[in-house]
Amino acid sequence: MKTTPLAWKNLTADWRRLALGVAGVAFAALLMFMQNGFRNALLDSPVQILRLLRCDLIAVSVARYSLPTDQVFPKTLFERSVTDADVVAATPLYFERPLAQLRVEGFPRRPIRVVGIPKQPGWFNDQTIESEIKKLSSTGTALLDRQSRLAYGFQWPRAGAEMDQAMQLAEQPLDVVGLINIGADFVNDGTLVVSHDSFAHFFPDRGAGRPLATIDLGLYRIRNNANPNAVADRLSKLDPLRWMVMTRQQLIDREIAFWNRQTPIGTIFFVGSMMGFAVGVIICYQILFNSIHDSLPEYATLKAMGYGNRFFVLLVVKQSLYLAILGFLPALATSWLSFQVINWAAGLPMLFTPSRIALVFGMTVVMCLVSGLMTVRRLLNADPASLF
């Protein structure tokens, strides 16, 4: 025999109350999504550039505690490492910010991150960057990050058109030949990508007059069947006092951990998420409490007829789960929209990943269950006779 889906019927009996409940849970979930999204946006922003790189291993100076600092390692060391049997391809990456003063006609000079890359394509995961690299053939040309902040004074051209503002980088004329997407972060308000030759041309004083002799990041691709950790260890041992080689993911994790520790965002957004959770528990409790309160006579009848505690616990648990699911779906849609808007307005990477969605869904379910179990106590303690 099919049993009556009482939990579902209870929940949908009064649509106004259901709508309020769903809206409440959705708001709590949205709040958690936003807090979590903000936290991740801040922590994702400094590693956007690393995520764009197509490589297995990355070498950095041991003193480089965070990407935007200027600790470098000598090119001679890098050249020694390239001969390793497991290394298939390698290239140096150069970064400059203090010397990279960009002046857009009519605006004050501001520092911008300049990344020196090889002219050969194949080192980026991003299709646009890969196809625009060929435009960097002549010295003095650059690709500009479309997500650079407004303060520089860039006037973005319409699709297909070229940037026509006069610009100077380190007091030399700069020709922007293409637009790409990387993203700003805590330190960098914008990014220019240039070839190694242009990098040396713009910053001749870097590295005491030998601009390419000191390297910021060394990128490696290794043989398919090689063990990345083993190769990284071997390369690190070439000069453990000067540099360290790690997988791209390890460097990303290390950078995120640095910003998490360096800034108070970890703590602050944890408190924020907990607030969302608490708000959700209260809202859910309100809804379930009212729903049970109003049907107490019905429950009393069921109890008097002999239904056991198990039945009532299951009933409330089911009701809270339905509420969690019904509330989560609109929250997901609204958050997705809000993420797009913030991404567009603030240039921050608001990313949705399955694990982040699962985290908020898990918290929503727990939130509803906690409030469900808080209400069920009241029901179980009741004496059938006194309920009428």
Q: Smaller CB distance to other proteins: residue 117 or 323?
A: 323
Q: Which of 12, 125, 262, 340 binds other proteins (CB under 8 A)?
A: 262
List the one residue from 171, 305, 383, 385 that touches other proteins (CB under 8 A).
171
- What is the Cα 23 distance to its own chain's centre? 27
101 belongs to the binding site for other proteins (CB under 8 A): yes
CA distance 153 to 163: 12
From 238, 282, 317, 382, residue interacting with other proteins (rule: CB under 8 A): 282
By residue count, the chain amounts to 388
* Out of 77, 99, 321, 365, the residue judged to bind other proteins by CB under 8 A: 99
Asked if residues 156 and 110 have their Cβ atoms less than 8 Å apart, the reply is no
Least separation in angstroms between CB 279 and other proteins: 5
Question: Which of 7, 18, 27, 367 touches other proteins (CB under 8 A)?
Answer: 27
Q: Which lies closer to other proteins via its Cβ, residue 220 or residue 277?
A: 277
Confirm or reject binding of residue 178 to other proteins (CB under 8 A).
Answer: no
Position 213 contacts other proteins (CB under 8 A): no
Q: Which of 190, 198, 113 is nearest to 153 (CA)?
A: 190
Cβ closest to other proteins, residue 45 vs residue 81: 45
* Runs of H (alpha helix) within the chain: 6-13, 15-44, 48-51, 75-81, 127-132, 196-202, 228-236, 248-262, 265-294, 296-305, 309-346, 354-381, 384-387
Q: Which residues contact 165 (CB under 8 A, 6 or more apart)?
A: 104, 105, 153, 154, 155
Stretch in the footprint of other proteins (CB under 8 A) among 62-70, 191-199, 302-310, 317-325: 62-70
Q: Interface mask (CB under 8 A) for other proteins, residues 308-347, using x and -?
A: ----------------------------------x---x-
3-state class (DSSP) for residue 1: coil
Give the nearest distance from C-beta 319 to other proteins in angstroms: 16
Distances from the Cα of 368 to the Cαs of 170, 276, 289, in angstroms? Answer: 58, 12, 12
Candidates 13, 85, 88, 151; binder of other proteins (CB under 8 A) is 151
Among 338, 341, 292, residue whose Cα is nearest residue 319: 292
Candidates 59-67, 73-81, 153-161, 243-251; binding stretch for other proteins (CB under 8 A): 59-67
Distances, alpha carbon 2 to alpha carbons 5, 307, 309, 313, in Å: 9, 17, 20, 20
Considering the rule CB under 8 A, would residue 348 count as an interface residue with other proteins? Answer: yes
Within positions 109 to 138, which residues make up the interface with other proteins, using CB under 8 A?
A: 109-111
Q: Establish if 181 lies at the interface with other proteins (CB under 8 A).
A: no
53 DSSP assignment: B
DSSP helix/strand/coil, 247:
strand
Q: How many CB atoms lie within 10 A of CB 122?
A: 12
Binding residues for other proteins, total number by CB under 8 A: 58
How many of the other CB atoms lie within 10 Å of CB of 184? 21
Residue 244, strand partner residues: 60
Task: Among 7, 11, 31, 90, indicate the residue that binds other proteins (CB under 8 A).
Answer: 31
Q: Summarize as ranges the residues that interact with other proteins (CB under 8 A).
A: 16-17, 20, 23-24, 27, 31, 34-35, 38, 41-42, 45, 63, 65-66, 69-71, 98-99, 101, 108-111, 149, 151, 170-171, 184-186, 205, 261-268, 271-272, 275-276, 278-279, 282-283, 285-286, 289-290, 294, 342, 346, 348
